[in-house]
Amino acid sequence: MSSIKCPEWVKQSKRRKAQGRVAGRGVHVRRPNFVRPRDNMYSHDFSLMNTKAFANLKGSGGNIWEVFEVLDDARRAIFRNTVFGYFIDVPRLQGDALLFHKMFLHQIRPDPVLSPDGIKRLYFRVGNTKMVYGPEEFCLITGFNFGEYPKNIGRKGSEKLISSKKRCLLRERLFPDHTNSSVKIGDLKSLILNQTFLALDDLDAVRVCLIYILCEGFLGKEVNDRVPQDWFYLAENLDLWNSFAWDFTYVDLEDTWNKIHHYLSLPERGQTLKYSVSGFTAPIRIWIYEMIPAVRACEFALRKNKDLPRMKRWSGTKKLKWVDVNKIWSKMQSITKVSCVQHITIWYRLLMERRFESDRHTIMPPNFFVSHALEEGQDWRAFMAGIATYPNFMVAWWDVDTVLLPIHSSPNHWLFGELRLASMEVHIYDSLGRGAYEKFKSEGIFSKFERRVANYLDKIKYWARRNIPRIPLNMQFIYEENVPQQSSHLGDCGVFLCMFMEQLVSGQPIRVLIDPKNAALEFRLRMAKIIWGSSLAPL
């Protein structure tokens, strides 16, 4: 797609930036009328989330593979030893401009646009989840060094921050007929694709390829743009090139928000939104693959391996159309539900794996309660008798006093039950109030569950193995009033369920927390550290 040639609104935006700049506080941009503050963020009107655009991602890395094709074995080996060397093994990246645009429709904007630690980052809210993309994510995905990227380096007005040399020897060898300031991106490309490239010293051939890949593939420069002499100085010393902090994630992406928001704020939008994005956009597209499970579920991206850096793991299966992007977003709710089940399952397995022999509890799988009540074809006797082959640490009901029950309430809510076998009471803990409890009660779910449990207790000879007389079951389902309540918009029911489960397993009372919102966030971090450090972490 061709980019717009500096429309009037871009000029106005730049003037507003210049007028609104405050030392040490970043840039304040006038809010469009439709934007309302939320949690100290600028947030989009959700009715505008389906606005299509023609986005031109200049620094997409799409043209770097033609360079690899002209490298012979010796030069390819030298190139592999550079910080950019692994890109030889990275699959050709699809454009995915529409996926990029859809993600930026969900961008939120802190005021000022700085994190508490002073590092600029990009913030997004997709559904109930807030996502952050910054230098850390960029470096983890690309493998480039983390550090402060000098503001003026490689830009017009640079003060030769890398070297104070007056002569640029590499430039003189490669382009003897040019001055330091007259070499253009097109000159690099012409040299690489010309027969004279074969006559270059091997190191110089690799150096010119590195500069071209940086300028055209990563920074998104045009063929007529000048090559800053800083890059020649840097490429002259490959050790310095390899150790340089290539952290250019934010500078060229931050204006995307301004372009989209200005267009959406116009009272009449007859013309299709078009905008261009410079800077290396491939890492943020990889980040979207990782953060949006529906991209993989719809098979629009494929993770091939677990290699590092993470750029090597992914390939796009096809160029996405707008209907494909909307399919991904429509699938997100169901994918979120599946992801929640997976994490609850992992957490319950961890608690069971770390259970002591003397403990008097067992935990049923997340689908046990509803399956017991609604699906006549399910036979759970092996789980109740502690002989199920998966998971292999089940415990028989006659050896415990309490049975803990993760409970799913359609369509996407989780609550928790504690069956006390001595009294046959089921205590219900719900972080969203009585709604699910009343629903189960009115629809007869509790009664169905009681009948099936009574039938299975007889079949596994529970009463005889416990050495107590059989009694009528007469289960009581008790709603617990005094339990922590989540904020209605956070979608933390699965996290609260895991909190309740761990508290009961460890013998702690389930109590009202002073700040359930922060408690849920802290527990998420704790779960992540424990899950990823265990043998049960997802692949």
DSSP string, 200-226: S-HHHHHHHHHHHIIIIIIS---TTSB
Backbone angles phi, psi at 273, to 5 degrees: -65, 130
Structure tokens at 405: 């029950």
Query: For the packed helices 255-265 and 97-104, what is the interaxial angle rounded to 10 degrees?
Result: 70
- pLDDT score for 523: 73
Give the DSSP letter of residue 410.
T
- pLDDT score for 157: 44
Within 359-444, where are the H helices?
A: 368-374, 381-384, 435-442
The one-letter code for the residue type at 212 is: Y
Among 319, 327, 312, 325, CA closest to 303: 312
Beta carbons within 10 angstroms of residue 38's beta carbon: 11
Beta carbons within 10 angstroms of residue 68's beta carbon: 15
By CB atoms closer than 10 A (0-12, 13-18, 19+), residue 332 is middle
- pLDDT score for 5: 41
C-alpha span between 20 and 61 (Å, rounded): 34
Give the CA dihedral 66, 72, 75, 77, nearest 10 degrees: 100
Query: For the packed helices 493-505 and 516-532, what is the interaxial angle rounded to 10 degrees?
Result: 70
DSSP H/E element including 478: strand 476-479
Q: In what order do the strands lie in the sheet containing 425-429?
A: 361-363, 402-409, 413-420, 425-429, 476-479
- pLDDT score for 477: 95
Hunting for tokens 């106005």 — which residue is that? 12
- pLDDT score for 39: 42
Among 177, 181, 175, 171, CA closest to 234: 171
Q: Which residues of 226-235 are buried (b: 16+ CB within 10 A; e: fewer)?
A: ebbbbbbbbb
Beta carbons within 10 angstroms of residue 466's beta carbon: 15
For 181-207, the pLDDT digits (tens) are 889 999 999 999 999 999 999 999 999
Is the sign of the CA dihedral 518, 522, 528, 534 positive or negative?
negative
Cβ neighbours for 364, distance < 8 A, ≥ 6 positions apart: 380, 383, 403, 404, 405, 406
Query: For the packed helices 322-353 and 97-104, what is the interaxial angle rounded to 10 degrees?
Result: 70
| Whether the Cβ atoms of residue 303 and residue 314 lie closer than 8 Å to each other | yes
- pLDDT score for 226: 93
CA 202 to chain centre: 40
C-alpha span between 417 and 373 (Å, rounded): 14
C-alpha span between 311 and 48 (Å, rounded): 32
- pLDDT score for 513: 61
Beta carbons within 10 angstroms of residue 163's beta carbon: 16
Could you list the beta-strand ranges (E) of 266-352.
Answer: 273-280, 301-303, 314-316
Query: For the packed helices 493-505 and 322-353, what is the interaxial angle rounded to 10 degrees?
Result: 0
C-alpha span between 71 and 79 (Å, rounded): 9
Tell me the helix, strand and coil percentages in the chain, rounded to 5.
45, 15, 45
Cβ neighbours for 327, distance < 8 A, ≥ 6 positions apart: 298
Q: Using omega within 30 degrees of 0 as the cis cutoff, is the peptide bond preceding 411 cis?
A: yes
Hunting for tokens 């007005």 — which residue is that? 157
- pLDDT score for 171: 92
DSSP string, 161-207: SS---S--HHHHHH-TTS-TTT-BHHHHHHHHTSGGGGGS-HHHHHH
For 370-413, the pLDDT digits (tens) are 776 666 667 788 889 988 766 667 899 999 999 999 988 877 78
DSSP string, 86-98: GGGGSPPPP--HH
The residues of the chain scoring below 50 in pLDDT are: 1-41, 46, 151-152, 156-163, 335, 337, 488-489, 535-539
- pLDDT score for 402: 94
